[in-house]
Amino acid sequence: MGHHLHANRVEHAEPHFRAAFLLNLAFTLVEVAGGILTQSTAILADAIHDLGDSFSLAAAWGMERRSHRPGDRTYTFGYQRFSVLGGVISAAVLSAGAVLVLTRAIPRLFDPGTPHGPGMIWLAAAGIMVNGVAAWRMRRGRGINARLAAWHLLEDVMGWGAVLVGGVVISIWHTAWIDPLLSILITLFIMRRVVVELRRAMRVFLQAAPKDIDLGKLKESLLSLPQVAQVHHLHLWSLDGERHVLTAHLVLSQVLEPPALLELKHRARILISGFPVTHSTLEIEYPDETCRSEQELES
């Protein structure tokens, strides 16, 4: 049995989650007050979205802290997948918030009220600054959890840019319907990215092969090793979207002496290190040996 561990250095995203959560929660309170004072549906919609962001960031922060735990008897590979779970929770909260925003904003297209343009402009400027700082912090982290949070915050910046434009339009032309229209467009735009990231998270949960590794090329490389006649039961999956795991059975063309077997395993380690694989396990089978995994599948 050959084993290889490739220690990829991954920057912990936990401090960035903490900073993003505190900034987001503080500004959400400002948004609620500002949305009521300006009578802006777009700002209140974004306040609801940011409140959901705050809850999801708190959950993601907690999951990120838990994901750093080493393996134990319950989770032998470690707790990395808790980070992905945090991303799924974020997506679920934001989806619920989006439905709430749309149910409020669509009727306001026909009865938009009288939003205060200058107040929208000032709040939008503050929103761009606060969410911009939080997004910059989150983009320094890695993994699905951090990436999903970074996209949310970056899209918040873009959303506040739209509110800023809306405030200018309302101040000059007094077209109040632009406010609920912007809230609808912002929500739909955000949900598009949420769906994309949720699909990535589900690929990890369902143990799909990582897209950044060519499985066919990896198998060909293993077959190119001397004395390797066949490669089967080749499995590749990801723990958290960043750390990938590989297992494979290598069938030898002839029986090897211990020194030659050690040399083969050494070459295999070098070969696998050329792929973004964090943890690999290779089982060596002799030419006439019956594969135990095939027996289990037939039983």
Query: Given pLDDT bands bounded at 50, 70 and 90, which one contains residue 7?
Result: very low
pLDDT at 4 over 50: no
The confidence score (pLDDT) of residue 10 equals 41
Q: Indicate if the pLDDT at residue 233 is higher than 80.
A: yes
Counting residues of the chain whose pLDDT is more than 70, the rounded percentage is 85
Residues 82-109 have pLDDT tens digits of 878 877 877 777 777 778 778 877 887 8
The order of strands in the sheet holding 279-285 is: 2-5, 279-285, 244-252, 228-238
| φ, ψ for residue 30, nearest 5 deg | -65, -40
Whole-structure pTM value: 0.67
Q: Is the pLDDT of residue 53 over 80?
A: no
At residue 263, the pLDDT reads 93
Instruction: Decide which of 229 and 167 is more confident.
Output: 229
Higher pLDDT, 158 or 198: 198
Compute the distance between CA of residue 213 and CA of residue 266 in angstroms, rounded to an integer.
Answer: 21
Instruction: Report yes or no: 163 and 42 within 8 Å, Cβ to Cβ.
Output: yes
Q: What is the DSSP string of 114-169?
A: ---HHHHHHHHHHHHHHHHHHHHHHTTS-SHHHHHHHHHHHHHHHHHHHHHHHHHH
Does the structure show a pLDDT above 80 at 213?
yes
CA triple 225-8-243, angle to 5 deg: 85
Residues 24-39 as b/e (b if ≥16 CB within 10 A, e otherwise) read: bbebbeebbebbeebb
With a cut of 50, say whether residue 24 has pLDDT above it.
Answer: yes
Average pLDDT, the chain: 79
At 251 the pLDDT is 93
Binned at pLDDT 50, 70 and 90, residue 298 comes out as: very low
186-223: string of b/e by CB count within 10 Å (b at 16+)?
A: bbeebbebbeebbebbebbeeeebbeebeeeebeebbe
pLDDT in tens, 125-177: 888 888 788 777 776 666 666 766 776 677 677 777 877 888 888 888 878 78
| Residue whose structure tokens are 């220690």 | 7
The more confidently predicted of residues 194 and 276 is 276
CB distance 165 to 72 below 8 Å: no
